[in-house]
Structure 1
Amino acid sequence: MPTLRIGLVIGSLRAGSFNRQLADAVRTLAGDRFVFEEIGIGDLPLYDQDDDAAFPAAGLRFKQQVEACDALLFVTPEYNRSIPGVLKNAIDIGTRPGGSNSFAGKRAAIIGTSPGAHGTVSAQQHLRNVLSAVDLAVLPQPEIAIQYREGQIDADGNVSDERLRKRLQLFLDRFEAWLAA
């Protein structure tokens, strides 16, 4: 089976993002079982239907990158029990203009981390609803909603916490098996 190309959509723009650290850890643990391509969302303009006739270049680039991937991995923080506006905006752009949904029929998984007591449980549930509405099939289990703790993941994407490493390894195993089915 050829190596699958996974589009990595990180829902945080913050320098030093905990979710970027988590994405790096997943890339490191995955080894060569996937090829990850980060799909940037920081340069996307706010979606405005008035721009559909002359769709913004950054939006076209985003859509093309999504379409070129076999599956997607969304890595989201949680802001006020939901997903960041920048992530929702990217999803909106990916489905526009009408009739050109770049997500349609693709598969995806969701992971995330936040310092809050419940990690990203609420954000992931909200994101799961949004992704289902745009015709993305989402890996049902395992849910990886991590309460961030300093030092769990180093700057090179190495996971020092054994329990977290095992959870992420289980996630990667299940994601790979689900994509192969």
Structure 2
Amino acid sequence: MKKIGFFVGSLRKDSYSKKVAESFARLLPDGYQAVFVELGELPLYNQDYDDFGPVPESYQKFRGEVKQLDGVVFVTPEYNRSVPAVLKNALDVGSRPFGKSVWDKLPGLVVTVSPGAIGGFGANHHLRQSLVFLNVPTLQQPEAYVGHITDSIAEDGTIVPGTEQFFQTILDSYLAFLEKLTK
């Protein structure tokens, strides 16, 4: 069973990004397990912890969880045309200490979510830029910008069928990409 880590870039209880990530997780076929990795408990990255200790237990737990994954899915809103701090911090915590990044070679998918029209374009591209440096090969096509998310959520909080089919198309492409890279 391959483990796919889901990293949600919003801490809000009723986050649209969380709802989208949960929808993607439900669409995973047999043979894949969704693992939601908590980001909100990580203190801001400080290299002194790694250099001089003590390393926070939350850093150790987070790094250990990511090391167990076969792939990573980032679902995030856009804050000020960029990546939310909680997600950037998680990237930093996982990338250190130098030379021991837990992200290295994990196949990735970037999904950005916004109530606006451009679907988190800025966050999507900033995140991809960081992932290139972290050596996370990322699905290039189809791109996953989810604009007007409020129109895609039913009254019961689920994703409407047309949008869910779009998610399935993206997920199928990502899983084919992951399988190609993890043979």
Counterpart for residue 17 of structure 2: 19
TM-score, structure 2 normalization: 0.91
Identity of aligned residues (%): 36
Quote the Cα distance in structure 2 between the aligned partners of 1:89 and 1:175: 24
Counterpart for residue 170 of structure 1: 169
Counterpart for residue 35 of structure 1: 33
Q: 1:78–1:123: 8 Å Cα contact kept in structure 2?
A: yes
Quote the Cα distance in structure 2 between the aligned partners of 1:81 and 1:157: 26
- How far apart are residue 151 of structure 1 and its match? 5.4
- How far apart are residue 121 of structure 1 and its match? 1.2
- How far apart are residue 131 of structure 1 and its match? 0.7
Runs of 4+ in 1 over 4 A off after TM superposition: 154-157
Q: Deviations over 1:139-160 (max 9, x none)?
A: 1111111113435234877422
Q: 1:157/1:169 Cα in 2 relative to 1: closer, same or farther (>3 Å)?
A: farther
Number of equivalent positions:
178
Q: Deviations over 1:71-124 (max 9, x none)?
A: 100011101110001110110000111221111121111112111220111101
Quote the Cα distance in structure 2 between the aligned partners of 1:157 and 1:34: 24
Q: 2:113–2:149: 8 Å Cα contact kept in structure 1?
A: no
Quote the Cα distance in structure 2 between the aligned partners of 1:148 and 1:56: 38
Residue 76 of structure 1 aligns to a residue whose secondary structure is: strand
Counterpart for residue 5 of structure 2: 7
Counterpart for residue 102 of structure 2: 102
Gaps of 5+ in 1: none
Q: 1:152–1:160: 8 Å Cα contact kept in structure 2?
A: yes
What amino acid does structure 2 have at the position aligned with 1:97? Answer: P
Counterpart for residue 133 of structure 2: 133
- How far apart are residue 165 of structure 1 and its match? 2.1
Q: 1:111–1:145: 8 Å Cα contact kept in structure 2?
A: yes
Quote the Cα distance in structure 1 between the aligned partners of 2:149 and 2:39: 26
Q: 1:112–1:145: 8 Å Cα contact kept in structure 2?
A: yes
Alignment of 1:52-71 (within 5 A): 52=50, 53-54=52-53, 55-71=55-71
TM-score, structure 1 normalization: 0.92
Counterpart for residue 178 of structure 2: 179
Residue 33 of structure 2 aligns to a residue whose secondary structure is: strand
